[in-house]
Amino acid sequence: MVSINSGPGVWLEIEREAATLRPPGFTPDLVPWGAGPDFHKFWIPEKMTPLAGSRVYGDLGEEQKLRYNQCCALETIEKLIWIESYGITPTLVSLLTGDLPTPALRELVQSVLIDELNHTAAEWRLLRLAREDLYRKNKLFFFRPPPSVVRLATRVSRMPRLLSGWVFFYGSLEERLPSLCRESGNGVDPLFATVFALHTADEARHKRINALIAKWLVEPQGKLAGWINGRVMNRLSKAYRDTGWGGDGPILQLIEDFPELAQHKTQLIEETLRGRAGKEIPATTAGQLPELPSAEASALSAAPDGAIPGPTEKISRVGT
Ligand SMILES: [Fe+2]
Ligand SMILES: [Fe+2]
């Protein structure tokens, strides 16, 4: 058992939680895959797509709306895969390579890792069933975050104890799931709705485990470590949520499928960026860690980025 600065109350709480938290539940076998999704239905709640509600969306034909919705659903699943494969999974693996304060906490972290691998496996299967032509090679098609996001996520996954704000950041990215799940009751394809629902069922448990990890790693951090943690995590959060990138994949695909829309490309992309800002960026500030006021920060300037390793090699993708 490693020595820790947190009081013994935290570890008693972890033991208690470990006894009550149910074991991992969502495996791809629980999904009734059948012949795949229904191409005549929306695959994601209509109002949760960036364009929905805009004038340009109202001008689209029914077939065009359907195709746009399905591309947005594929992009949403890809985002979940990215968050899990590039963010959560390597971070947890890295965390598990070192000592953990109690066997109970190790067990809990391992159980989240198993859940996330199962989510990712189910998501790849769903993508391939939906569009075998796009996903035969297990490569993301729509979601391509910029190098700054990949670099920062890689950095965090290499130093999950110092850069422990990931427990808030990744938790907040999966926060969209409950509303996806709730809204999917309104006519969304049952296969997509089931995958969203099973995934959501695991998240309440993950949230509680993240809170325990935060008590272990975030709360006892000293000033300097807290500042580095806050600075890197806030940069990652800002880079990821920057609405200047992403969201254009479904539009480009829509134009490829319906070339007559090419003349509206600029307007479609502008409305997408506006819609993303309003719908995809959580209203909560979850993921934001406090940074030191600038006077204190400059007093610590000997440390800043120099304390953090430079860009590292790419994380390998997890797929099935
Ligand atoms: Fe997940
Ligand atoms: Fe999760």
Chain segment 270-280, per-residue pLDDT in tens = 898 888 776 66
**CA 129/CA 114 separation, integer angstroms:** 23
pLDDT at res. 84? 95
CATH number of 50-307: 1.10.620.20
pLDDT higher than 90, residue 188 = yes
196 neighbors 177 (Cβ within 8 angstroms): yes
Instruction: Give distance in angstroms: CA of 192 to centre of ligand 2.
Output: 17
Instruction: Give distance in angstroms: CA of 148 to centre of ligand 2.
Output: 23
pLDDT higher than 50, residue 313 = no
Instruction: Give distance in angstroms: CA of 188 to centre of ligand 2.
Output: 22
**CA 273/CA 269 separation, integer angstroms:** 6
Q: Which of 220, 257, 200 lies closest to 67 in space, CA to CA?
A: 257
The dihedral region occupied by 36, where left means phi > 0, alpha psi between -120 and 50, and beta the remainder, is left
**CA 309/CA 295 separation, integer angstroms:** 24
Q: Which of 157-171, 240-254, 296-310 has the highest mean pLDDT?
A: 157-171
pLDDT at res. 55? 92
Give the number of other Cβ atoms within 10 Å of residue 312's Cβ.
12
Percent of the chain at pLDDT > 70 equals 81
Instruction: Give distance in angstroms: CA of 287 to centre of ligand 1.
Output: 16
Instruction: Give distance in angstroms: CA of 200 to centre of ligand 2.
Output: 8
CB neighbours of 238 closer than 8 A, spacing ≥ 6?
Answer: none
Instruction: Give distance in angstroms: CA of 206 to centre of ligand 2.
Output: 5
For the chain, give every domain's residue range: 50-307
Instruction: Give distance in angstroms: CA of 245 to centre of ligand 1.
Output: 23
Instruction: Give distance in angstroms: CA of 111 to centre of ligand 2.
Output: 10
Residue identified by tokens 């850069």 is: 163
Is the pLDDT higher at 301 or at 128? 128
162 neighbors 98 (Cβ within 8 angstroms): no
Instruction: Give distance in angstroms: CA of 66 to centre of ligand 1.
Output: 26
Global pTM? 0.84
Query: What would the mean pLDDT of 283-301 be, rounded to a whole number?
Result: 42
Instruction: Give distance in angstroms: CA of 214 to centre of ligand 2.
Output: 15
Instruction: Give distance in angstroms: CA of 18 to centre of ligand 1.
Output: 20
Residue identified by tokens 């340009």 is: 56
pLDDT higher than 50, residue 301 = no
Instruction: Give distance in angstroms: CA of 116 to centre of ligand 1.
Output: 5
Q: Which of 2, 6, 3, 1 lies closest to 212 in space, CA to CA?
A: 6
Instruction: Give distance in angstroms: CA of 199 to centre of ligand 1.
Output: 6
Instruction: Give distance in angstroms: CA of 125 to centre of ligand 2.
Output: 18
Average pLDDT, the chain: 82
